[in-house]
Amino acid sequence: TMSDVDETIKRLSTRKGVEGIVILNDEGLTIRSTLDADLTKKYATYVYPLVGKSRTSVSEIDPENELTFLRIRTKKHELMISPDKEYTMIVVQNHHE
Amino acid sequence: ESTKTEELRELSDEERKTIVTSHTFANFVDTSSKIVERALHETYDFMKDYTIGAEV
């Protein structure tokens, strides 16, 4: 049910260091986000293409392999990206104490 | 007729509602959130004291 989904998102967003959660469809369009509209759009625009590229790269190297998760570590954050055939979940975590 | 170079359109509230109430979406959120929770638990900062490519 929708409330289960929103509850899960809410619970996840209270985890230590979690700054935002963005969930996209298979076109990179936003289904749900805990970030403001501008920032959400940036993640959708700039992070979503990385998923497809990573997926392709993995299977090009080895057709029997597939992308299961993507983590991007930056100075300020770690992006945890869970890709699926139809959806992508991006979680932005501040990894500092 | 719109070109791909135009800005991404947005999902309508109705489209969002259809997705959010679907089973496949619920399963995805459930599974992904569990995986992410495990990843969030790792607190070891393997980059601490080292920065590659950042300003010195």
pLDDT of B37 strictly over 60: yes
Token pair recorded at residue A27: 């076109």
A25 sits in which H/E element: strand A18-25
Assign A24 a pLDDT band (cuts: 50, 70, 90): very high
Assign B53 a pLDDT band (cuts: 50, 70, 90): low
* Global pTM value: 0.90
Contacts of B23 (CB under 8 A, 6+ apart): none
ipTM over 0.90: yes
Paired residues of A88 in beta bridges = A24, A83
Residue of B nearest to A45 (CA): B8
**How much is the pLDDT for B55?**
56
Name which of A27, A69, A75 is nearest B35 (Cβ-Cβ).
A69
pLDDT tens, position by position, A29-71: 999 999 999 999 999 999 999 999 999 999 999 999 999 999 9
The residue among A23, A27, A34, A93 with the most chain B CBs within 10 A of its CB, best to mutate, is A23
Residue type, A22: V
CB contact under 8 A, A29 and B33: no
Q: CB pairs under 8 A, 24+ apart, for B52-56? A: B54/A75
**Rounded Cα gap, residues A13 and A18, in angstroms:** 6
How is residue B7 annotated by DSSP? P
Supply angle C-alpha A50, A96, A35, rounded to 5: 50
**How much is the pLDDT for B7?**
54
A4: chain B residues, CB-CB within 8 Å: 26, 30
Name which of B21, B31, B47 is nearest A73 (Cβ-Cβ).
B47
A59 sits in which H/E element: helix A48-61
Paired residues of A33 in beta bridges = A22
Q: What is the dihedral of CA B32, B34, B39, B40, to 10 degrees?
A: 110
Name which of B20, B24, B36 is nearest A82 (Cβ-Cβ).
B36
pLDDT of A85 strictly over 90: yes
